[in-house]
Chain A
């Protein structure tokens, strides 16, 4: 087999043993980042991807499983199982975790990373380029947002204005040709990692069994294995590996699959601002050209580190959408009529809307011309993504059913601690109090102490924690270098190693950790 191409597992003769230096399982953001880091090295790399270059329903179905705890029903929709992984449908929201996310927090059980944010900064900086982002600078003031324009409490003592950058990079299309040309990188599509088999010492992986849906099978033997299959599949594959009837690899302390976390996502409530015609354009979903190119970004707020420490709160990502008064529909219609946009014969309906809201449209026009005011804001609908506490009872298990490859399907027992809800409610209570104290408006939280989660509550697609990182083997599956404590040549990449998840989107951190892991593996191999 000639290295340095994109191959299909169906074409590999059954029983073949592929020899390589590094075997990476999973071609998502982490796996592709890792493989690219070895392009200029002298090491041979084999990258295994379960899917092909495009979506295939029967491959996607390998993600199927069941939920037995808190409802978690997005197993086959929150992730994508083909080259590029979930970046094939991601929103591209990128930012590092906050410094407090890495720091010890006594009020947070099982808190803390083995290192702090500044240590990871060099890799975050490199990750920016991988994700096609602007500079590694997330201070709103550097993105054209003048601090004086941010009304309190959003720049107050308890809440911080923040920004995220928006990536348009889909890792599959973006990096396929580069990997195809790489002389020492071989990509195998439709190649499903099936079982990491330990060697005779039981302290290292000896080989990896690979299967295709067609029934074809082969083996990869590598010096280093890196599992980068996603927050749930990483745990699933470890649990399913090793000898039949065992408890999996790296699971001596019954930690693999535990601490399953996501970001808790829900409507946080409604703000009625005091001044409906305020010039409040802090939340700009636009581009900033101050860094020599157009870089899209979005601003949002979160509790300050001081507030989180003082009130023992989790982190929270808070943004909002505007609820404009009905006049906005008239303005939109007027624009279409004036600009002569093609509207499929709906001009009469548009005109009717204008006439119907004539008073409002006129008022808007006059105020816009005379005072530069915007459309009256009826309300602001608050959206939240809050941090879930690490919880050993929240876990990924193997079910009794098997998929078409013969691998046990996953069972998700997603569990929340009572504090997840009470502390999220406390954060919203703080937000409401601050909104009132600052005179910004009034707040009607959708989540209150002792009440139920809002009806739209769900656990989002940021699946984390199932092979958590900790220096103590009794508290973590992998060490600070992301290597299994009990396997000398098996590493994990992806959000499954996050000991705590913060509230920020995880992909930039996944990529930064993958870059760091690549550096480490090169050192090990040299």
Chain B
């Protein structure tokens, strides 16, 4: 993947895609009950499949499942099972956590780009959810 492919604005997008299609399928994407806000957050990321796939490839194999990724992300964001805040709040927490990742060295190389561990997991989860949604659809 060239940097041009990867350098599109949507690499950094955190809102605006408005993929209601994904949002509607958040509940059917296989996330544990009570973690739907995370599905909504992923749907808002506007992450194209190519980036999500690259994030999946950059993460350790034992992290690559919706359940594992969701657990890791929510755990890092301080959510208890069934106790997640709304997606809007979750987005703020995720952004803050992402910046802290950079500060504390939790950085993942994705096709050479320096991404935070939190956003890498989110993009990866988005890709998995999208794939599940496609199958379901």
Contact = CB atoms under 8 A, between A and B. Distances in A.
B7 A433 contact: no
Interface stretch (A5-13, A385-393, A443-451, A480-488): A443-451
Contacts of B98: 436
Given A274-B12, A441-B12, A442-B115, A378 B102 contact: no
Nearest to A434: B102
Contacts of A436: 98-99, 101-102, 107, 114-116
B104 to A, nearest CB: 9
B99 A437 contact: yes
Nearest to B98: A436
Contacts of A441: 12
B113 interface: yes
B51 to A, nearest CB: 11
Most chain B CB inside 10 Å of its own CB: which residue of A274, A441, A442, A448 = A442
A480 B7 CA distance: 50
A272 interface: yes
A433 B114 contact: yes
Given A436-B107, A448-B109, A379 B7 contact: yes
A439 interface: yes
Contacts of B3: 270, 379, 444
B14 to A, nearest CB: 9
Contacts of A448: 109, 112
B9 interface: yes
A408 interface: no
Chain B interface bracket (under 10, 10 to 19, 20 to 34, 35 or more): 20 to 34
Contacts, number: 58
Contacts of A330: none
Contacts of B107: 429, 432-433, 436
A276 interface: yes
A270 B103 CA distance: 20
A444 B12 contact: no
A379 B6 CA distance: 11
A48 B118 CA distance: 65
B11 interface: yes
B100 to A, nearest CB: 8
A275 to B, nearest CB: 9
A90 to B, nearest CB: 32
Given A274-B12, A442-B12, A445-B114, A437 B7 contact: no
Interface in B78-129: 95, 98-103, 105, 107, 109, 111-116
A439 B107 CA distance: 14
Contacts of A270: 3, 7
A378 B7 contact: yes
Interface string B51-89: 000000000000000000000000000000000000000
25 contacts: A272-B12, A378-B7, A379-B3, A379-B7, A429-B114, A432-B102, A433-B102, A433-B107, A433-B114, A434-B102, A436-B99, A436-B101, A436-B102, A436-B116, A437-B100, A437-B102, A439-B95, A442-B12, A442-B113, A442-B114, A443-B113, A443-B114, A444-B3, A445-B112, A448-B112
